[in-house]
């Protein structure tokens, strides 16, 4: 087996949002992505104030602002009561950001040749001096100064660090982007619909594209249909028809095939993270590799961006020839992130149970208690500011 000295001092496993964002906050980086190109499929992410602050710290916020409409309010309709509640977003910045535009903006801001495609990390070994070696699927071994796992929910790096596999939440999400080439008529707001066992929402990303999602209990047939965009579209349309929303039906009908997806939601208990497993020697994790969570709060991607900025600050002044300095910086990073990831992870899970509305008790709490208290105060978590990319003391 060939042991390559990595030309870059920092090796990132995974070229998704976390990998590209982390690469933007650091120097002397190589990103290894298992796919042969950026994974530009999928629809949108809701990016709130905290995510925009992180994108601004990386210098890509304004590029993305130009391409996405700022939304003014969230209307929530309960199908049980027929009532609608409105949350005014005048003190918030919220946009539905197309996943592919986010990835392209991050990738274009990186020096050329930072991302190496078609390379999959298959194992990590720690040497006696606590430095680690990465083994790729083709047998190549690389020995960088720092290894950062941004390899998503089924992370090889997280597994090596001692995290358990993610859990299935029992719910699945249909998503897509309806395209209106001549422009759509939707106002800059989202409509959330809380139905019986189904939650749905839609709203404009820009002048021609409208994002929608529907979540419901997972079914055994989901894996089979998830690769067939025609069936996905048809199933989603039926669910929207059941909810009685004609506008949403129209948006779903106009979905572009490669924007359609059906994802089964996964999360991980964060206790091992609290116990300090997110760092070992010169290895750590960022994004879903560290804290996969259910998407009801719309914060998983933004948390990955916050992680990236924080890690960039922790490593900013570290002498990468000094393993003890690296280890201390990674420990500091984990220390800074664990409270935030825990808080958002718990809130997402609770939101998920309530929003699913499929058992009588959560449904009762959702419709009788949460609905009446919907207010901008519930967006408190979006106030987090990871700050500019300056050294973290």
Ligand X SMILES: Cc1cc2nc3c(=O)[nH]c(=O)nc-3n(C[C@H](O)[C@H](O)[C@H](O)COP(=O)(O)OP(=O)(O)OC[C@H]3O[C@@H](n4cnc5c(N)ncnc54)[C@H](O)[C@@H]3O)c2cc1C
Contact footprint for ligand X (CB under 6 A): 13-19, 32-35, 39, 45-46, 120-121, 150-153, 156, 173, 175, 263, 287-289, 295, 298-302, 304
CA torsion 26-344-15-329 (nearest 10°) is 30
Nearer to ligand X, 233 or 299 (CB): 299
CB 121 within 8 A of CB 139: no
Q: How far apart, in Å, are the Cα atoms of 201 and each of 62, 96, 136, 220, 231?
A: 26, 12, 41, 24, 20
Quote the crossing angle between the two packed helices 99-108 and 17-25, to the nearest 10°: 30
Nearer to ligand X, 152 or 345 (CB): 152
Nearer to ligand X, 195 or 287 (CB): 287
Taking the complex as a whole, the smallest distance from the CB of residue 294 to ligand X amounts, in Å, to 8
Taking the complex as a whole, the smallest distance from the CB of residue 81 to ligand X amounts, in Å, to 26
Q: Which token pair is 333? A: 């990073």
Nearer to ligand X, 22 or 245 (CB): 22
Nearer to ligand X, 77 or 303 (CB): 303
Q: How far apart, in Å, are the Cα atoms of 270 and each of 4, 166, 349, 374?
A: 35, 10, 11, 27
Taking the complex as a whole, the smallest distance from the CB of residue 262 to ligand X amounts, in Å, to 9
CB 32 within 8 A of CB 165: no
Distance CA(64)–CA(222), nearest Å, equals 33
Taking the complex as a whole, the smallest distance from the CB of residue 217 to ligand X amounts, in Å, to 15
Query: What b/e string do you get for 272-287 counting C-beta neighbours within 10 Å, with b at 16 or more?
Result: ebeeebbbbbbbbbbb
Nearer to ligand X, 281 or 298 (CB): 298
Taking the complex as a whole, the smallest distance from the CB of residue 52 to ligand X amounts, in Å, to 11
Taking the complex as a whole, the smallest distance from the CB of residue 120 to ligand X amounts, in Å, to 4
> Which long-range CB contacts under 8 A does 256-260 form with residues at least 24 apart?
256/176, 256/177, 256/179, 257/229, 257/230, 257/233, 258/40, 258/41, 258/229, 259/41, 259/42, 259/43, 259/175, 259/176, 259/177, 260/43, 260/174, 260/175, 260/176, 260/229, 260/232, 260/233, 260/236
Q: Which token pair is 147? A: 């290894």
Nearer to ligand X, 21 or 314 (CB): 21
Taking the complex as a whole, the smallest distance from the CB of residue 311 to ligand X amounts, in Å, to 13
Distance CA(325)–CA(215), nearest Å, equals 45
Taking the complex as a whole, the smallest distance from the CB of residue 192 to ligand X amounts, in Å, to 12
- For 352-364, the DSSP string reads HHHHH--SHHHHH
Nearer to ligand X, 259 or 367 (CB): 259
Q: Which residue is nearest to ligand X (CB)?
A: 16
Taking the complex as a whole, the smallest distance from the CB of residue 228 to ligand X amounts, in Å, to 18
Nearer to ligand X, 33 or 192 (CB): 33
Please enumerate in sequence order all residues whose Cβ is within 8 A of that of 393, keeping only pairs 6 or more positions apart, or say none: none
Nearer to ligand X, 31 or 326 (CB): 31
Taking the complex as a whole, the smallest distance from the CB of residue 119 to ligand X amounts, in Å, to 6
* DSSP H or E stretch at residue 310: helix 300-315
């Amino acid at each position: 087996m060939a042991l390559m000295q990595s030309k870059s001092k920092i090796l990132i496993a995974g070229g998704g949002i976390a990998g590209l964002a982390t690469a933007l906050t650091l120097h002397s980086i190589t990103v290894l992505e298992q796919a042969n190109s950026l994974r530009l499929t999928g629809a949108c992410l809701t990016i709130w104030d905290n995510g925009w602050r992180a994108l601004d710290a990386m210098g890509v916020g304004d590029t993305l602002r130009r391409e996405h409409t700022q939304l003014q309010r969230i209307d929530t309709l309960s199908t049980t009561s027929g009532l609608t509640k409105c949350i005014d977003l005048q003190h918030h910045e919220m946009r539905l950001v197309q996943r592919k535009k986010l990835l392209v903006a991050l990738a274009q801001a990186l020096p050329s040749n930072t991302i190496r495609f078609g390379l999959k990390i298959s194992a990590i070994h720690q040497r006696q001096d606590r430095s680690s070696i990465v083994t790729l699927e083709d047998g190549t071994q690389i020995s960088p100064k720092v290894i950062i796992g941004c390899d998503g929910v089924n992370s090889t790096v997280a597994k090596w660090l001692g995290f358990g596999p993610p859990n299935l939440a029992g719910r699945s999400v249909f998503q897509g982007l309806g395209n209106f080439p001549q422009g759509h008529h939707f106002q800059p707001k989202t409509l959330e619909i809380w139905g019986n066992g189904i939650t749905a929402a839609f709203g404009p990303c820009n002048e021609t594209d409208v994002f929608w999602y529907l979540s419901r209990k997972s079914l055994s047939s989901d894996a089979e249909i998830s690769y067939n965009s025609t069936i996905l579209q048809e199933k989603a349309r039926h669910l929207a028809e059941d909810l009685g929303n004609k506008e949403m039906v129209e948006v779903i009908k106009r979905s572009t095939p490669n924007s359609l997806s059906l994802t089964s939601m996964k999360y991980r208990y964060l206790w091992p993270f609290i116990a300090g497993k997110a760092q070992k020697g010169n290895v750590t994790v960022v994004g879903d590799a560290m804290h996969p969570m259910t998407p009801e709060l719309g914060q998983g991607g933004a948390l990955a961006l916050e992680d990236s900025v924080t890690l960039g600050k922790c490593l900013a002044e570290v002498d990468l020839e000094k393993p003890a300095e690296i280890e201390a910086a990674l420990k500091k990073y984990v220390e800074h992130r664990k409270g935030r990831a825990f808080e958002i992870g718990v809130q997402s899970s609770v939101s998920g149970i309530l929003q699913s509305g499929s058992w009588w008790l959560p449904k009762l709490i959702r419709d009788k208690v949460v609905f009446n208290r919907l207010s901008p105060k519930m967006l408190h978590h979006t106030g987090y500011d990871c700050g500019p990319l300056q050294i973290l003391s």
